Amino acid sequence: MNTLILTDFSDTATHAGKYAIDLFQDATVNFYLLNIQNLNSTEALVPSPILGLNQNPKDQIQKQYGELKQYAKQPGHSFYTILSNENLVNATRKYMLEKKIDLIVMGTSSADFSNTSILGKHTREIIQKIKCSVLMVSERSKFKMPKKFVLPVDTTINTENSIPDFLRSKIFNAQTNITIVEIGMPLDRIRKSLSIKKKFGFSESSSQCNFLEFKQAINLSDGLLKEIQENYNMVIILGKNLSICKKLVESYDGKWSAKNNNLPVLVLH
């Protein structure tokens, strides 16, 4: 497996890298640290002001490389560094293809959020323009091997390929459970739609797949946000369902970002 960690040398990026190391602790993984040094571009992933723009990026990326390599105890984990002067999207796409990347990892902090968006500017750019799965790790995320996933999905979108691919991934197994949140479907229709389990690769009797109705007309209450935080380990969004971000976050006055989201978000392409 090949993983690309986008870094600005911040503690948030290092935290995201450590989360990915823990997540794939039993897998053989090549981790590539990529920093963008195009200082003429608004898309540059430059060092944060607290680190100082005049520090040598080669020294900084080597320092982060060393920290992550020391943190990883798995003999199957290898680390490499990349510095690029290209813009964010071009560089990410270039190395995604060149290194045959399976997953992009990005850290997100409260500074990345606007009042109405869960995704930072750079993260949105990557998700919208790069056809590769992206794991967004909040600076507040504390690692726990994910066993309970929540998947908001617009079932009118063709998702037949995405779900089975995920079920064959290294983080979903017989001990994990997924709750599918069907957005905006009438209740009577949901009760008649158990065949969706087959569409998503589950048998109709499977206890690994549950359903939860979440009508668009219902406000995303503080209580529901707290319940999601307490009862799930990861949020999954299908690449074809990115409108879900708007429905779950922007349509509800940005309550998700305002309530200190702790859950990592995995966008599958």
The per-residue pLDDT for 230 is: 82
**Predicted confidence (pLDDT) per residue in 146-201, tens digit:** 888 888 776 666 655 566 666 667 677 777 888 877 665 554 454 545 655 666 66
Tokens of 90: 């071009």
**Predicted confidence (pLDDT) per residue in 100-143, tens digit:** 999 999 988 654 444 333 445 677 778 888 989 999 888 888 89
| pTM reported for the whole predicted model | 0.81
Domain range 2-138, CATH architecture: 3-Layer(aba) Sandwich (3.40)
Cβ neighbours of residue 49 closer than 8 Å, sequence gap 6 or more: none
pLDDT at 244 over 50: yes
Query: CATH assignment of 148-263?
Result: 3.40.50
DSSP code at position 233? S
What string of DSSP letters covers 84-111? E-S-HHHHHHHHHHHTT-SEEEEEE-GG
**Predicted confidence (pLDDT) per residue in 37-87, tens digit:** 754 444 445 444 334 445 688 899 999 999 999 999 888 999 999 999 898
Looking at the chain, the domain(s) classified CATH 3.40.50.620 span 2-138
